[in-house]
A = this chain, B = another copy of it.
């Protein structure tokens, strides 16, 4: 029997690396066939041996009728560890964070079950038939909208990330905290949202040109409210009614939330019940205190709405370990509050050399883009980094640049829920030792 490889057009020798410590050119994966087979010969895929050596047997689940089909399906019982990390598991009367397990999921969409949430007075159990949205203040005609009303309005569907202004705050610590991407970056998630553009409703109530801001208020018992420039309301703000196809999850604002693509999560007011057009910011609790961006020298920024360009590697990352040298797929997510991701560069040598990662699908504005980089690990210590650029030309800063501009803690921080400062977006670095153990490092 004549056997030859398909689509192999070059001799089976190793393709040139594109950057230090084993980052590979993508054409190494294009039908060459030798890359992974070569890896197998040096320790890759312990079970990837000849089929003849381990004859196929019927597993117990192949011998009996399986389980019933449920009306709603959920993950396998073997995936019970793929959950959000809770900051307040005993439901004490304070805020409660639930972080997305980025190191355990893939692709660009965050499953709604695992979308991060922060709630300051629990999750209200809202009857959608009784909930109302009021738009009033500096308008020609104030209006009250029921969910049934809004369901008849023109809708739009778009991808968008939502990120807490305090996401990645553990990286303001003077020493790298030894925690996972879930602890560091779990306060950002990405969904497909469907709803009514706020501009449609603002057109209908008729906004006074003197109105420069609007106050958005939630129906939770802390009545969380924030001020938003009215321009954002006309640009791309949405009253989101659906999240990944279903009604918005209770923790994400059921039955309706404000979506401000690219703006800090807290402003994307959940359980939205009121929008008031006003001529100056209301200086509410969260904008006057919590989200004030602190700078060195006792200065601060009064407002900092934008979630700037960021990326982080999710695979491999802290919490994983490498099972010996050979091929690995490096991947992660990148996003920017100022548009589409244009480019992600990856380094395996702590930033000395870089290679361009492949982006999956067509990057969408203000949404996650999954990036991938082929890599062959030689078993020596390495440091993996990713760095993103957006279509507006913004580049993700190095850590030294953030620290110079915004400072860091004077002492190492132990508690990831101690939000030292806001809007941290530098590169994240994972150090891998010769045993394949992974640590969070600063380079």
User: Hey, which bits of chain A sit against chain B, CB under 8 A?
Assistant: 1-8, 29, 31-33, 36-37, 44-52, 54, 56, 59, 61-79, 82-84, 86, 88, 91, 93, 96-98, 105-115, 117, 119, 121-132, 134-136, 138-146, 148-149, 152-159, 192-194, 199-200, 202-204, 206-210, 219-221, 223, 234, 241-242, 244-247, 249-252, 254-255, 273-274, 323, 326-329, 331, 360-362, 364, 370, 372, 374
A132 and B69 contacting across the interface, CB-CB below 8 Å:
no
Output the nearest chain B residue to A100 by Cβ-Cβ distance.
B245
A77 and B125 contacting across the interface, CB-CB below 8 Å:
yes
Which residue of B6, B50, B192 is within 8 Å of A142 (Cβ)?
Answer: B50
- Residues of chain B within 8 A (CB-CB) of A75 are 246-247, 249-250, 254
Q: How far is the CB of A312 from chain B (nearest CB, A)?
A: 16
Output the nearest chain B residue to A245 by Cβ-Cβ distance.
B105
B154 and A29 contacting across the interface, CB-CB below 8 Å:
yes
- Residues of chain B within 8 A (CB-CB) of A155 are 106, 329, 331, 372
Which residue of B70, B207, B370 is within 8 Å of A157 (Cβ)?
Answer: B370
A52 and B142 contacting across the interface, CB-CB below 8 Å:
yes
B32 and A203 contacting across the interface, CB-CB below 8 Å:
yes
C-alpha spacing A62/B192, complex, angstroms: 28
Which residue of B86, B136, B221, B273 is within 8 Å of A65 (Cβ)?
Answer: B221
Are A234 and B59 also in contact (CB < 8 A) when A157-B360, A158-B360, A192-B109 are? no
Which residue of B65, B121, B254 is within 8 Å of A121 (Cβ)?
Answer: B65
Which residue of B1, B72, B361 is within 8 Å of A83 (Cβ)?
Answer: B72
A49 and B144 contacting across the interface, CB-CB below 8 Å:
yes
A2 and B33 contacting across the interface, CB-CB below 8 Å:
no
Q: A33-B206, A111-B245, A156-B360 provided; 11 other pairs, C-beta below 8 A? A: A6-B207, A48-B143, A48-B144, A51-B134, A59-B130, A66-B123, A67-B250, A69-B98, A69-B122, A73-B249, A77-B125
Q: How far is the CB of A170 from chain B (nearest CB, A)?
A: 20
Considering the complex of A and B, which 5 residue pairs feature the smallest CB-CB distances, nearest first? A66-B122, A33-B203, A51-B142, A71-B83, A61-B124
Output the nearest chain B residue to A85 by Cβ-Cβ distance.
B71
A69 and B143 contacting across the interface, CB-CB below 8 Å:
no
C-alpha spacing A362/B362, complex, angstroms: 8
Report copies per complex: 2
B5 and A223 contacting across the interface, CB-CB below 8 Å:
no
Output the nearest chain B residue to A61 by Cβ-Cβ distance.
B124
A362 and B360 contacting across the interface, CB-CB below 8 Å:
no
Q: How far is the CB of A431 from chain B (nearest CB, A)?
A: 20
Are A93 and B65 also in contact (CB < 8 A) when A158-B361, A204-B36 are? yes
- Residues of chain B within 8 A (CB-CB) of A59 are 126-127, 130-131, 219
B360 and A109 contacting across the interface, CB-CB below 8 Å:
no
- Residues of chain B within 8 A (CB-CB) of A111 are 112, 244-246
Output the nearest chain B residue to A52 by Cβ-Cβ distance.
B142
Q: How far is the CB of A269 from chain B (nearest CB, A)?
A: 13
A109 and B109 contacting across the interface, CB-CB below 8 Å:
yes
A327 and B245 contacting across the interface, CB-CB below 8 Å:
no
Most chain B beta-carbon neighbours within 10 Å: one of A52, A68, A138, A247: A68
Which residue of B6, B45, B117, B207 is within 8 Å of A234 (Cβ)?
Answer: B6
Are A152 and B66 also in contact (CB < 8 A) when A140-B3, A245-B110 are? no
- Residues of chain B within 8 A (CB-CB) of A210 are 1-2
Which residue of B8, B33, B204, B247 is within 8 Å of A82 (Cβ)?
Answer: B247
C-alpha spacing A234/B7, complex, angstroms: 10
B62 and A144 contacting across the interface, CB-CB below 8 Å:
no
A3 and B66 contacting across the interface, CB-CB below 8 Å:
no
A107 and B194 contacting across the interface, CB-CB below 8 Å:
yes
